[in-house]
Structure 1
Amino acid sequence: MPQPPADAPALAADYFQGYSVVGLLAALGVLFVAVAFGAGRLLRPVAPTPEKLMTYECGVDPVGEGWAHTQVRYYVYAFLYVIFAVDSIFLFPWATVFAAPGYGATTLVEMFVFLGFLTVGLLYAYKKGVLEWT
């Protein structure tokens, strides 16, 4: 059976020292948030009145039920925006690698595959009528 190196405990200590710093910072962060919330709870005035317990709606007294119908298409537009924003983020690193020697043809093919997937998704959304504003 092979023997571990003589400095194995020192290597383990060095290895876990990096994690101990991260753990200590995470614990301090949690403690800071807990102290802030606790101080806010202790220092704030508590005087509930019917007006304070009423739903606030831009300075106007709420009328009717609290349930409102929202058109789903707005979420679809937001989702499509996020998809294309993320895709544009992928274009910048691709452009830098494309200029590197030896990567031109490979990255060009990969980008056309990527843009093909985007086109298929956009055509699907168009075919389903998602992009029509009515």
Structure 2
Amino acid sequence: MKLLLLNFFIAVIISSLLILLSTLFSKKTILDREKVSPFECGFDPKNTSRIPFSIRFFLIAIVFLIFDIEISILLPLGLITNSIPPILWMTAGGLFLLLVTLGLYYEWKENTLEWIT
């Protein structure tokens, strides 16, 4: 037990030391305006380097992620076919798909999926 505790404390000390060293050596100490500005062939930039972000694009990306995660939730249903009764996993999968389909219908009715309004 003492050996396990000693190994744990050594691991914590080494990890903390590495984190401390990496934060000390990775920080930039000199912030120069020229170094942080965007480079445009040696001239001052005409426009700002920050372009406005489209909220519509962000919402469509979130909807895509939701449906992408849906696939990863449904994939294990094929692996558990032998361990539980088929009616149970088919009901659970169907209920989940119904819920996601209702969400898609709601998004469609709210015109969230329209790119240009």
Match of 1:105 in 2: 87
State yes or no: 1:118 paired with 2:88. no
Task: Give the Cα separation in 1 of the matches to 2:91 and 2:35.
Answer: 61
Distance 2:48 2:83 in 1: 64
Query: What's 1:132 paired with?
Result: 114
Match of 1:79 in 2: 62
- Per-residue CA shift, 1:87-108, capped at 9, x if unaligned? 11112211111x2154210000
In structure 2, C-alpha distance between the alignment counterparts of 1:24 and 1:128, rounded to whole Å: 57
TM-score (norm 1): 0.64
Moved over 2 A (4+): 23-31, 59-70
TM-score by length of 2: 0.72
Separation in 1 of the partners of 2:29 and 2:77?
A: 55
Q: Which amino acid aligns with 1:86?
A: I
Structure of greater relative contact order (alpha carbons < 8 Å, 6+ residues apart): 2
Unaligned runs of 5+ residues in structure 2 are none
- Matched with 1:7 is none
Tell me the number of residue pairs that the alignment of Structure 1 and Structure 2 aligns: 111
Superposition deviation, residue 66 in structure 1: 7.2
| SS in structure 1 of the partner of residue 79 of structure 2 | helix
Per-residue deviation at 1:127? 0.8
1:133 Cα deviation after fit: 1.8
| Deviation at residue 52 of structure 1 after TM alignment | 2.2
Letter in 2 for 1:69: P
Match of 2:71 among 88, 112, 117: 88
Displacement after TM superposition at 1:83 (Å): 0.8
- The structure number with the bigger radius of gyration is 1
